[in-house]
Structure 1
């Protein structure tokens, strides 16, 4: 395998004195790890490219023993503003830990790469980032991977959910029911009309818009329960502190 494209560098580690390994995400090949031999000393082939959370154009080839090798790289964006802000760095680190835990399929590589890149670009702007961004990132990522529920109509009768003050989210079914219709078995979460409205906006917006969102405490709490349950059921991930583990 040999290719050349823009990728997002997620992690970099030392492998012997002058070499390093690089974990990156490609929009066509997904999550990969490759070796940059001599990368710690080379100023010509990898100048500024071997830092985590960077957009880099890499030329990648396959070594003799099936491992991938980085031949050269060009830095596109180092996201310097983001890296100087510890609060934003903490938020994006949470997003990346979730991202690395996801079981992507090939048709999900491109939308996942695009969403992570847009999130880095949004947090790199000179304005405060909302602490709510990691949660919205998880919801949006699940939606982009084909798990978006119908947030406007009842799963059973098809009636508009905004006609009711609250609705019921059936976690295992991944669908919403109005209060008039019986939902299926399993865990259920009562959800307000305001929370569904926010998630509907989320599904049709990008990370650069999220920084200005200031939902009420009730909506924030409902979103946390709803998104975490949804991610656990459909993506098989549970949040434990700052880690995401298979449930």
Structure 2
């Protein structure tokens, strides 16, 4: 059985002298592994296709025994060439791809996640300078799409709507996944993080926009610090991932 699918290459590795295994992500399957037999010497079937970050249209064969998937040929859709010329762009792309790979997004949310990842690579690959906060915004967007980032419109305990003009600093409970109003918050709760209203505005802006628009977001030092803290808390608590030795690993 054969199919043709768009994929992103997340990782590659050599099996034999001329054969490769590839960890791929498609909008239909999510993450999967396939083999490109003869991929290291083929100039016709896989010309310029088999590098990490590449967006490729692959023809995939599933043998009858179902033991593995075989890549028959590939056509490069986008190689994002600027990533490989600019160390700052490459660093941002690697950071996003590592997180994306570690989250283990299944087929159910694959279409949305695939569009986010390709849009992010498009934004990084563009001619403009890549914002330093882009990998942070990317992780935030993934959390929002996966439904594990807090709603910030009402208290999770009394359901009272939050009005930043009146209430000022917002308290977010990382365990309950929502904001907690001043009347319901308990002194000294370790799972509560204070957020400035401007940080909430940034979260809302990322939620409603695509990666190309993120370069226009103005982030204060305080908001950048708060975003780092709350995203790391939610990534660790709800996805079980921590940043260690230059990569995201399961805690």
**Do they superpose with TM above 0.5?**
yes
Task: Tell me what 1:37 maps to.
Answer: 37
> What are the Cα deviations for residues 167-209 of structure 1, in whole angstroms up to 9, with x where unaligned?
1110111101222333696511011111111101111011111
Please give the residue correspondences for 1:33-182 in structure 2 after superposition, counting only pairs within 5 Å: 33-63=33-63, 64=65, 66-155=67-156, 156-162=158-164, 163-182=166-185
> What are the Cα deviations for residues 53-112 of structure 1, in whole angstroms up to 9, with x where unaligned?
011000111245611110011000000112211111111111111111113232111111
CA distance in 1, matches of 2:26, 2:34: 12
The worse-fitting range, judged by mean Cα deviation, of 226-235 and 237-246 is 237-246
Following TM superposition, by how much is the alpha carbon of 1:232 offset from its aligned partner in structure 2, in angstroms? 1.3
Give SS of 1:153's match: strand
Following TM superposition, by how much is the alpha carbon of 1:46 offset from its aligned partner in structure 2, in angstroms? 0.7
C-alpha spacing 1:183/1:232, structure 2 compared with 1 (3 Å): farther
Give SS of 2:75's match: strand
CA distance in 1, matches of 2:222, 2:190: 24
Task: Tell me what 2:5 maps to.
Answer: 5
What is the root-mean-square deviation in Å for CA atoms of aligned residues? 1.8
C-alpha spacing 1:90/1:9, structure 2 compared with 1 (3 Å): same
The runs of 5 or more residues in structure 2 that have no matched partner are none
CA distance in 1, matches of 2:82, 2:13: 23
Task: Tell me what 1:23 maps to.
Answer: 23
CA distance in 1, matches of 2:87, 2:237: 32
Matched-pair contact (CA < 8 Å) for 1:91–1:133: yes
Matched-pair contact (CA < 8 Å) for 1:130–1:213: no
Following TM superposition, by how much is the alpha carbon of 1:152 offset from its aligned partner in structure 2, in angstroms? 2.6
Q: What's the TM-score once normalised by structure 2's chain length?
A: 0.92
CA distance in 2, matches of 1:240, 1:182: 32
- How many corresponding residue pairs? 247
Q: What's the TM-score once normalised by structure 1's chain length?
A: 0.94
Matched-pair contact (CA < 8 Å) for 2:151–2:178: yes
